[in-house]
């Protein structure tokens, strides 16, 4: 399999993760207005799995390092396969809530609040699971991200008022962030570390296998969680399987593209994690918050009608994110 040993290459891959994780949600906004988020989400989940399998049978199966994908599946302990799968289930619940929050509050709010909170919790839980990382610098980076989350919530309040929709959007974003802060630790814990001589730990998974199992957890749990959301949506109208199968090729391809973009980011992040460290890789990848906010502010114009002074809050939000991410990157230099 293809592995990464250079710290700077790993950081570059985490930057790609940041771009992918911060951009995939644009595909949701590209779908037609009567194409419910639940219908979009089925195709998104399929896209995540397809791209993960593509990398597993290419980068994960060729090269002189580690174990090929099929060989790795055969030697893996059920415990670690289950851990990666569970990570996908936890992520799925969180991501469905995040998609709902995007419908209510927009990219500029759902991502900074939800994913920013996930970054904070994810760094903490991943460090607890792996024990790797510079604690003072990770903590400092996280504090700046927390400040950015608070500033973004204040900016949103200026355009959303104190109505039920405003409160609902932020509450759902927070719930999504809390759940999303835990999924990565399950995946990171399932991955094999190289033993002396570079031989991978027996029983555990290569990054490629871990992401495939994660993707299976995401897709299969959709039959429970997304089916429920189709019948009892938090926002919007109920959706049916008949509507999904009546969708155009364009509808389905946009959703699959969104999943493939997100999966590219996930795969690159997991592949890069051993060369950086899992907590840093996750924290840097979740800089996607800043990318999504840029899309929301400058492309989708979600703050165009904001009162005077809102742009100042947005500026300080971006600055706090940049400083926080910079500290996270520097934590292992």
Return the pLDDT at 115.
77
DSSP annotation of 13 reads H
Question: Mean pLDDT of residues grouped by 10 in the chain (333 residues)?
Answer: 91 93 88 87 97 97 88 96 97 89 74 79 83 86 84 74 64 89 91 74 94 98 95 88 94 96 95 86 80 81 81 90 86 75
Domain boundaries, given as residue ranges, for the chain = 7-330
pLDDT value of position 195: 62
Strand (E) or helix (H) holding 254? helix 249-272
Instruction: Give the whole-angstrom CA distance, residue 62 versus residue 294.
Output: 37
Cβ atoms 165, 100 nearer than 8 A: no
pLDDT at 101: 83
- For every residue of 239-250, DSSP letters joined together read --HHHHHTS-HH
Distance CA 231, CA 236 (A): 11
What are the tokens at 137?
Answer: 């610098």
Q: Give the separation between CA 119 and CA 175, rounded to whole angstroms.
A: 13
Q: What is the pLDDT of residue 281?
A: 87
Contact call for residues 220 and 87 (beta carbons, < 8 A): no
Beta bridge partners of 200: 194
Q: What is the 3-state secondary structure (H, E, C) of 75-91?
A: HCCHHHHHHHHHHHHHH
Enumerate the β-bridge partners of residue 194: 200
DSSP 8-state code for residue 113: I
């Amino acid at each position: 399999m293809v592995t990464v040993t250079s710290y700077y290459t790993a950081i570059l891959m985490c930057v790609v993760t940041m771009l992918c994780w911060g951009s995939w949600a644009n595909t949701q906004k590209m779908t037609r207005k009567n194409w419910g988020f639940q219908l979009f989400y089925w195709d998104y989940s399929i896209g995540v799995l397809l791209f993960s399998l593509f990398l597993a049978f290419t980068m994960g199966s060729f090269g002189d390092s580690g174990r090929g994908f099929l060989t790795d599946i055969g030697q893996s302990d059920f415990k670690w396969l289950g851990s990666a799968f569970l990570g996908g289930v936890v992520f799925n619940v969180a991501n469905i809530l995040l998609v709902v929050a995007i419908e209510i509050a927009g990219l500029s709010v759902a991502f900074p609040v939800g994913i920013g909170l996930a970054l904070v919790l994810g760094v903490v839980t991943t460090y607890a699971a792996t024990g790797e990382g510079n604690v003072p610098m990770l903590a400092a980076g996280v504090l700046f991200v927390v400040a950015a989350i608070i500033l973004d919530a204040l900016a949103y309040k200026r355009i959303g008022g104190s109505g039920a929709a405003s409160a609902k959007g932020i509450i759902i974003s927070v719930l999504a962030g809390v759940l999303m802060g835990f999924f990565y630790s399950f995946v990171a814990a399932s991955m094999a570390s190289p033993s002396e001589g570079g031989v991978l730990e027996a029983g555990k998974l290569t990054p490629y296998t871990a992401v495939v199992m994660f993707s299976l957890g995401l897709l299969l749990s959709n039959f429970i969680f997304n089916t429920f959301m189709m019948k009892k949506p938090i926002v919007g109208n109920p959706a049916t399987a008949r509507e999904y199968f009546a969708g155009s090729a364009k509808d389905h391809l946009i959703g699959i593209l969104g999943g493939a973009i997100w999966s590219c980011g996930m795969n690159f992040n997991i592949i890069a994690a051993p060369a950086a460290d899992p907590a840093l890789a996750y924290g840097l990848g979740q800089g996607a918050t800043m990318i999504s906010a840029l899309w929301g502010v400058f492309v989708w114009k979600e703050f165009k009608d904001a009162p005077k002074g809102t742009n100042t809050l947005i500026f300080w939000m971006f600055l706090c994110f940049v400083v926080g991410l910079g500290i996270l990157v520097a934590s292992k230099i």
